[in-house]
Structure 1
Amino acid sequence: MSGMLSDDDVDEIVFRAAGSGDHRGAAGTLEALAERPDTHSETITRASLLVDAGSQYGLAQDWSEAIRCYRAAVADGSACPVDPRVWLHDGLLREGQAEEADALRAELKAAKSADPGVYEAVAESLEAVGRLDDAHTWFTMGYHRCERAPVPDFLLDLLLVGRRRVRVALGHPSDALDEVAEDYMETVGG
């Protein structure tokens, strides 16, 4: 591959892996591209490629390799669509490193991001490992911290949909925010 990478180039690597199941191979390709600054652009950075590589290792259930990539992305510090610490948090939780994940989550909470993607990713990671009360907290906190931020409304709605899903699993009664989530699901679900 020569020249600057595009989002389509990265998507092609990911889609090919989804079709073939060769997530480890895709991760290796993405890591190799991460080390080639001549292919990077404003949106395709070393950190974003390392996050994508970590995601592929995660799909291969190789969480130690995923964590290695996520740590490198955090250390790199170049631009990423979503703070790479959320993916490191996910890998740590799935690898059973709860104490380090909890410390990282406290760091993320203290950062008070206005990016709904941060809260959604952390909440979904918590939900995936069965920490539903914590997931509920993150979905709710994300909505309240981002509701006045200049973000598309649908991102806020997605936080509420996740929150509603967790509330149902916890057996909580419906509230006003659940009704907003249900309205959104009716609108998009038809």
Structure 2
Amino acid sequence: MARMLTEDDVDEIAFRAAADGDHRGAAATLETLAESSDTHGETVTRASLLVDAGSQYGLAQDWDEAVRCYRAAVADSSDCPVDPRVWLHDGLLRQGKAEQAAALRAELKAARLTDPAVYEAVAESLEAVELLQDAHVWFTMGYHRCENAPVPDFLLDLLLVGRRRVRIALGHPADALDEVAEDYMETVGG
């Protein structure tokens, strides 16, 4: 029987790629591991390996391959730390496929998820392509949808920090939620 992969094994592949710049090689290794179901476990699944492969292709600026991996992760539907649709959304935005990305955002919004990482990832993708008003909406929506969910407070604070960053870029004056973000930044920064 093959040894079960751990998150440390996957991290080691990513660290090696960061050191030597061979992101395509890392992506290929991760895709191969994704197809070896006898090495998958509870935390390392086919979908999570495909997301990691897509991330490596993204680091190589090969968004077509990244999107292919993300689509396969979504179709696989095995457990993944964060809904793989958020990474597909990011890839589509970076490919310039705004309509497909918008349709995926509508699907994610309708799902009414209570995972702050979903909202943060979507908002940061929007911010990266300078869709700042949309990023503001996702950071804010994420905070409100997750504020009563059983999640660590710091994840909510991170949504507010992102929201504050976008609000500054948009030229909005500080509001009560921005003050919470600034308090958090002071606490962790000093």
* TM-score category (smaller protein): over 0.9
The Cα shift of 1:173 comes to 0.1
The Cα shift of 1:124 comes to 0.2
The residue number in structure 2 matching 1:114 is 114
Unpaired segments ≥5 residues, structure 1: none
What is the CA deviation profile of residues 144-177 of structure 1, one whole-angstrom value per residue up to 9, with x for unaligned ones?
Answer: 0000000000000000000000000000000000
AA paired with 1:117?
A: A
The Cα shift of 1:54 comes to 0.2
The residue number in structure 2 matching 1:184 is 184
Separation in structure 2 between the aligned mates of residue 141 and residue 15 of structure 1, nearest angstrom: 33
The percentage of counterpart residues that share the same residue type is 83
The residue number in structure 2 matching 1:166 is 166
What is the CA deviation profile of residues 91-135 of structure 1, one whole-angstrom value per residue up to 9, with x for unaligned ones?
Answer: 000000000000000000000000000000000000000000000
Separation in structure 2 between the aligned mates of residue 25 and residue 185 of structure 1, nearest angstrom: 38
**TM-score, normalised via structure 2 length:** 0.99
SS at match of 2:124: helix
Separation in structure 1 between the aligned mates of residue 67 and residue 11 of structure 2, nearest angstrom: 21
The residue number in structure 1 matching 2:36 is 36
* Matching of residue 153 in structure 1 with residue 156 in structure 2: no
Which residues of 2 match residues 1-80 of structure 1 at below 5 A?
A: 2-80=2-80
SS at match of 1:78: coil
Separation in structure 2 between the aligned mates of residue 72 and residue 7 of structure 1, nearest angstrom: 20
Separation in structure 2 between the aligned mates of residue 169 and residue 123 of structure 1, nearest angstrom: 14
The Cα shift of 1:75 comes to 0.2
Unpaired segments ≥5 residues, structure 2: none
The residue number in structure 2 matching 1:101 is 101
Across the two proteins, how many residue pairs are aligned to each other?
189
Separation in structure 1 between the aligned mates of residue 6 and residue 118 of structure 2, nearest angstrom: 24
Separation in structure 2 between the aligned mates of residue 160 and residue 66 of structure 1, nearest angstrom: 29
Separation in structure 2 between the aligned mates of residue 96 and residue 189 of structure 1, nearest angstrom: 36
Separation in structure 1 between the aligned mates of residue 154 and residue 16 of structure 2, nearest angstrom: 29
With 2-11 and 103-112 compared, the bigger mean Cα shift is at: 2-11
AA paired with 2:18?
A: A
Separation in structure 1 between the aligned mates of residue 156 and residue 18 of structure 2, nearest angstrom: 28
CA RMSD of aligned residues (A): 0.5
